[in-house]
Amino acid sequence: MPGECPVSQVRKVSLFRNGRNQAVRIPAEFELPGNEATIRKEGNLLILEPVRPKATLRELLQSWEPEPDFPDIDDSDLPPLRDIDLE
C-alpha cells in the first residue's frame, strides 16, 4: 500500500499542543537535517521533508556538466554577407 513504511521504520509518537498548533515529538532516529522542513498532506498522510539549503551561484555552476565542444564551422557553408539597410 502506498505511504506505508516497513515495520522497522514505524514508531508511535506523542502529539501535543504548542500554543494553537499541534506538534509532534520526533524520535532521534527520525531527526531531519537543518532547521526547516516542509509539510504537506496527501490523503490521511502528513509528509515532512527537510528544506535543503539553497546552493550558492558558484555551487550551482560547478554542479553543471560542461557543454560538449562545438564543431568548427566551415565558412563556405554560410550565406554570403550583405549590407542591410535599417532606414
Q: 85 in a domain, yes or no?
A: no
pLDDT tens track for 38-86: 999 999 999 999 998 888 899 888 888 887 887 777 777 777 778 787 8
Find the Cα–Cα–Cα–Cα dihedral 38, 40, 45, 48, rounded to 10°: 0
- How many domains in the chain? 1
- Does residue 75 sit within a domain? no
- At 25, the pLDDT band (50, 70, 90 cuts) reads very high
Q: Grid coordinates representing 44?
A: 490521511
Residue 53: which domain range?
7-65
Residue 83: inside a domain: no
Tell me: pLDDT of 6 over 60: no
Does the residue 1 lie in any domain? Answer: no
Report if residue 26 sits inside a domain.
yes
Question: Is residue 42 one of the residues assigned to a domain?
Answer: yes
Please indicate, yes or no, if residue 86 is contained in any of the structural domains: no
Question: Can you give the pTM of this predicted structure?
Answer: 0.49
**What's 4's DSSP letter?**
-
CATH number for the domain harbouring residue 25: 2.10.260.10
Per DSSP, 15 falls in state: E
